[in-house]
C-alpha cells in the first residue's frame, strides 16, 4: 500500500540572517488532523520555521508540499490561499474593535442600500456568534472591544479568526504563554476541537506539560536544526528536556558520529 500523502512536507529548509544560520536543512512532516508540538530552546528556529510555512519568511533553500503539491509562498496571503493559517506569538488583534469586528477584520459582510455599500453589522454579529459557538468559544459579549477581554479570551478570538479561514494547517506560536490555568485549558480544548475536524496543527510551546495533553508527536529544534522527533506516547518530559538542551544529542553524537536516531528520516 502506498504511504498516505502528508498534509505538509517540508524538506531542506534553510534560512540565514546575517551570520546566523537560523534554519539549517530542516525537514517537517505533518499528517491530516495531526497535532505536532514544535519545541526547542530560545532562538532554536521554531518561529522562523513556522513563518516559512505561513509565508511570512521566504527561505533561501528548500521545498514545501501541501497535500502532495509543491507550493511557493511569497507572502502570508499565498499561504492563506493554500489554507495555511498562523496565530502569531504577539497577537494581531485590533484592540479598539469589538469581537465580531476582529473576527471579520478585512472581510466584513456588506450590504447595498440604494447602490451604497454599508457594513452589515447585524449579519456580522450573527455570523460571529455562530462561528464562536461552533468552536466552543465563550465570550460574554461580542460587542465588547477586545482590549477589555482577558488574555485567554483574546487568544481564543485570534484562534477563532484563524480557524474561520477554513484552514488545513493551523500554526500556533506560544498560544498559552501568557495565560492563566483555566485559560490554557480552554485553548488546549480548542486545539482538540479543530484537530478532530481534520485540521493539522503545529503547536509551538515552552509549556512541555501541554504537549502531553494535545500533541500526537513532537519535533525538537536545536540551533536551527531539526534534531529529533518522537511520538508523544514514546517519550516523557525528562527526555524532551534533554533533547531541547542538547544533552541527548551531544551524548549520542559523541558515541556515534552517524548520529543514529537523531536525524529525521
Ligand X SMILES: Nc1ncnc2c1ncn2[C@@H]1O[C@H](COP(=O)(O)OP(=O)(O)OP(=O)(O)O)[C@@H](O)[C@H]1O
Q: Of the two residues 37 and 40, which places its CB atom closer to ligand X in the complex? A: 40
Q: Decide: is 47 part of the binding site for ligand X (CB under 6 A).
A: yes
Under rule CB under 6 A, residue 22 binds ligand X: yes
Q: Report the residue number, 23 or 163, with the smaller CB distance to ligand X.
A: 23
> Which residue among 19, 42, 117, 257 contacts ligand X (CB under 6 A)?
42
Nearer Cβ to ligand X, position 144 or 177?
Answer: 177
Contact pattern for ligand X over residues 64 through 83, marking x by CB under 6 A: --------------------
* 171 in Cβ contact with 202 (< 8 Å): yes
| Start-end of H helices in the chain | 46-53, 76-81, 99-103, 121-134, 151-163, 181-196, 208-214, 237-245, 247-255
Pairwise CA distance, residues 99 & 95, whole Å: 9
Question: Which residue among 23, 37, 47, 57 contacts Mg ion (CB under 5 A)?
Answer: 47
185-224 binders of Mg ion (CB under 5 A): none
37-49 burial string, b = 16+ CB within 10 Å, else e? bbbbeeebbbbbb
Q: What is the DSSP string of 10-33?
A: EEEEEEEETTEEEEEEEEEEE-TT
Site for ligand X contains 101 (CB under 6 A): no
What's the chain's Rg over C-alpha atoms? 20
To ligand X, the closest distance from the beta carbon of 112 in angstroms equals 43
Q: Residues interacting with Mg ion, by CB under 5 A?
A: 47
Q: Residues interacting with ligand X, by CB under 6 A?
A: 17, 20, 22, 40, 42-48
Amino acid at each position: 500500500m502506498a504511504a498516505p500523502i502528508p498534509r505538509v512536507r517540508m524538506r531542506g529548509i534553510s534560512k540565514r540572517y546575517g551570520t546566523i544560520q537560523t534554519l539549517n536543512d530542516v525537514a517537517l512532516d505533518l499528517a491530516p488532523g495531526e497535532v505536532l508540538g514544535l519545541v526547542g530552546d530560545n532562538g532554536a528556529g521554531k518561529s522562523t520555521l513556522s513563518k516559512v510555512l505561513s509565508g511570512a519568511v521566504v527561505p533561501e533553500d528548500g521545498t514545501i508540499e501541501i497535500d502532495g503539491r509543491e507550493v511557493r509562498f511569497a507572502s502570508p496571503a499565498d499561504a492563506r490561499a493554500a489554507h495555511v493559517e498562523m496565530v502569531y506569538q504577539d497577537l494581531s488583534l485590533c484592540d479598539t474593535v469589538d469581537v465580531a469586528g476582529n473576527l471579520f477584520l478585512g472581510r466584513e459582510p456588506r450590504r447595498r442600500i440604494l447602490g451604497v455599500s454599508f457594513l452589515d453589522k447585524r449579519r456580522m454579529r450573527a455570523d460571529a456568534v455562530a462561528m464562536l459557538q461552533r468552536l466552543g468559544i465563550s465570550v460574554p459579549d461580542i460587542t465588547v472591544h477586545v482590549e477589555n477581554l482577558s488574555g485567554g479570551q483574546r487568544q481564543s478570538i485570534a484562534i477563532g479568526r484563524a480557524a474561520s479561514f477554513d484552514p488545513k494547517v493551523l500554526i500556533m506560536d506560544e498560544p498559552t504563554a501568557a495565560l492563566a490555568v483555566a485559560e490554557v485549558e480552554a485553548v488546549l480544548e480548542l486545539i482538540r476541537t479543530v484537530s478532530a475536524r481534520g485540521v493539522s496543527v503545529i503547536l509551538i510551546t515552552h509549556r512541555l506539560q501541554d504537549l502531553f495533553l494535545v500533541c500526537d508527536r513532537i519535533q525538537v529544534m536545536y540551533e536551527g536544526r531539526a534534531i529529533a522527533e518522537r511520538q508523544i506516547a514514546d517519550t516523557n518530559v525528562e527526555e524532551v528536556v534533554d533533547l531541547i538542551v542538547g544533552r541527548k544529542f551531544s551524548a549520542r553524537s559523541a558515541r556515534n558520529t552517524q548520529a543514529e536516531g537523531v536525524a529525521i528520516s
